[in-house]
């Protein structure tokens, strides 16, 4: 069983998406602390694909990708691998200064933006942006890419039937994912492609059948690793689970920080009622379901807090996020002490105050 540090937004790039010294230090430190497989935080494939968070890294040009070489070299020097997570936010973004686009004009209840509906030609441009981004990643020396097809971002938006009301060929939501993978293969040849998917989602009934369809697709396309997460940003805390750091949310979250008292009184209780409780290994069931449809290595991410429970869960890979945020030397401590448990208390301040997540 191998451990992965799952994609974790850093907020450590400059305004154009170039890495800062802080970004370099983060990955160098993780590598020095024995993290052998790490996935970057989501990197935009185009300006339109930017997330709302400031400090997001980008992989939308060869020049920008080249700026990551020193990060990659530092990781390799310490015997570790680094995979670039590439993403397009689609409708799940706001206040980026760029057009907000989506599979349909349906709004995300969280972001509240009415997206421009991508035309068929524009979807082909997005496919090319992903292929170019992977190509830039390969030329910079990354060890592979992970497609962010989870958490309600653009690729996932196509897969959710209640959002995808298209009438063109992309009404088959899996077509976008297929074409992105095929274009990356055409452009990059033999270059590892990992894919992050969500098991269930809160905004859709019976997403399980679609999940199985996606796993079968990825199996047929022989991607290199499938990581199973949960949900969409419409119920963001169900991706993470745990406590709701209300004060941090209202202080830093650009969507919530200007909401008045009346809004809070009427809207918070129904939102809070939808939050699922934290349970250990909360995506393991879906990861095992994925594993029953494929021989491709599957990883589960969400609610693993010790090396021992990862070793016992029966998967070839297990991913950890928050444990590496609060202790970058989590693996060293775990190897020195078999019963070591992460100090992460699922307070989720890291998830809400992402400017300094890392």
Ligand X SMILES: Cc1cc2nc3c(=O)[nH]c(=O)nc-3n(C[C@H](O)[C@H](O)[C@H](O)COP(=O)(O)O)c2cc1C
Contacting residues toward ligand X, per CB under 6 A: 6-9, 41-42, 85, 148, 150-151, 196, 229, 239-240, 301-304, 320-322, 350-351, 354, 357
Q: In whole angstroms, give the CA distance from residue 253 to residue 214.
A: 32
Kindly state the smallest distance separating residue 329's Cβ from ligand X, in Å: 16
Q: Which is nearer to ligand X, 19 or 166 (CB)?
A: 19
Kindly state the smallest distance separating residue 305's Cβ from ligand X, in Å: 8
Cα-only R_g, the chain? 19
Number of helices and strands in the chain (H, E): 15, 11
Q: Which is nearer to ligand X, 149 or 166 (CB)?
A: 149
Kindly state the smallest distance separating residue 41's Cβ from ligand X, in Å: 4
Kindly state the smallest distance separating residue 349's Cβ from ligand X, in Å: 9
Kindly state the smallest distance separating residue 138's Cβ from ligand X, in Å: 20
Q: Which is nearer to ligand X, 145 or 351 (CB)?
A: 351
Tokens of 93: 């973004």
> Nearest Cα to 319, choosing from 233, 330, 349, 211?
330
Q: Which is nearer to ligand X, 156 or 166 (CB)?
A: 156
DSSP secondary structure letters along 290-326: HHTT-SS-EEEESS---HHHHHHS--SEEEESHHHHH
Q: Which is nearer to ligand X, 26 or 166 (CB)?
A: 26
Kindly state the smallest distance separating residue 149's Cβ from ligand X, in Å: 10
Q: Which is nearer to ligand X, 140 or 321 (CB)?
A: 321
Kindly state the smallest distance separating residue 261's Cβ from ligand X, in Å: 28
Note the helical H segments in the chain.
Answer: 21-32, 62-66, 69-77, 120-140, 154-159, 174-188, 208-221, 237-240, 246-252, 261-273, 284-291, 307-312, 322-326, 330-336, 349-352
C-beta separation of 319 from 5 below 8 A: yes
Note the helical H segments in 84-203.
Answer: 120-140, 154-159, 174-188
Q: Which is nearer to ligand X, 46 or 229 (CB)?
A: 229
DSSP secondary structure letters along 72-94: HHHHHHTT-EEEEEEE--TTS--
- Tally of residues, the chain: 358
Question: Which one-letter DSSP state was computed for residue 19?
Answer: B
Q: Which is nearer to ligand X, 166 or 196 (CB)?
A: 196
Kindly state the smallest distance separating residue 165's Cβ from ligand X, in Å: 25
Q: In whole angstroms, give the CA distance from residue 95 to residue 192.
A: 33
């Amino acid at each position: 069983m191998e451990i992965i540090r799952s994609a974790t937004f850093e907020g450590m790039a400059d305004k154009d998406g170039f890495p800062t010294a802080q970004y370099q230090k983060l990955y160098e430190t993780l590598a020095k602390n024995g993290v052998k497989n790490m996935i970057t935080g989501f990197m935009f494939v185009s300006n339109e694909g930017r997330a709302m968070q400031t400090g997001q890294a980008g992989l939308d040009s060869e020049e920008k990708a080249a700026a990551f070489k020193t990060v990659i070299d530092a990781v390799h020097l310490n015997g570790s691998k680094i995979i670039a997570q590439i993403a397009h936010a689609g409708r799940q973004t706001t206040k980026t200064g760029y057009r907000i686009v989506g599979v349909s004009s349906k709004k995300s209840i969280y972001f509240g933006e009415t997206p421009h509906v991508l035309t068929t030609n524009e979807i082909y441009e997005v496919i090319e942006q992903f292929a170019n981004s992977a190509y830039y990643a390969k030329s910079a020396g990354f060890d592979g890419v992970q497609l962010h097809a989870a958490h309600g971002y653009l690729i996932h938006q196509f897969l959710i039937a209640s959002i995808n009301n298209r009438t063109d060929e992309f009404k088959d939501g899996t077509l976008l994912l297929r074409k992105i993978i095929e274009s990356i293969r055409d452009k990059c040849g033999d270059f590892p492609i990992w894919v992050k998917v969500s098991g269930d989602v809160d905004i859709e009934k019976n997403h399980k059948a679609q999940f199985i369809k996606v796993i079968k697709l990825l199996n047929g396309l022989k991607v290199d690793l499938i990581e199973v997460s949960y949900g969409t940003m419409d119920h963001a805390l169900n991706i993470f689970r745990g406590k709701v750091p209300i004060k941090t949310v209202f202080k830093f979250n650009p969507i919530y920080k200007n909401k008045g008292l009346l809004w809070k009184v009427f809207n918070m209780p129904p939102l809070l009622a939808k939050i699922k409780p934290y349970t250990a290994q909360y995506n393991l069931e879906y990861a095992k379901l994925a594993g029953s449809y494929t021989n491709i290595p599957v990883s589960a991410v969400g609610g693993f807090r010790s090396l021992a429970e990862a070793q016992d869960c029966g998967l070839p890979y297990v991913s950890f996020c928050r444990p590496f945020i609060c202790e970058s030397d989590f693996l060293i401590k775990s190897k020195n002490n078999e019963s070591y448990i992460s100090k992460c208390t699922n307070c989720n301040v890291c998830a809400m105050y992402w400017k300094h997540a890392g």
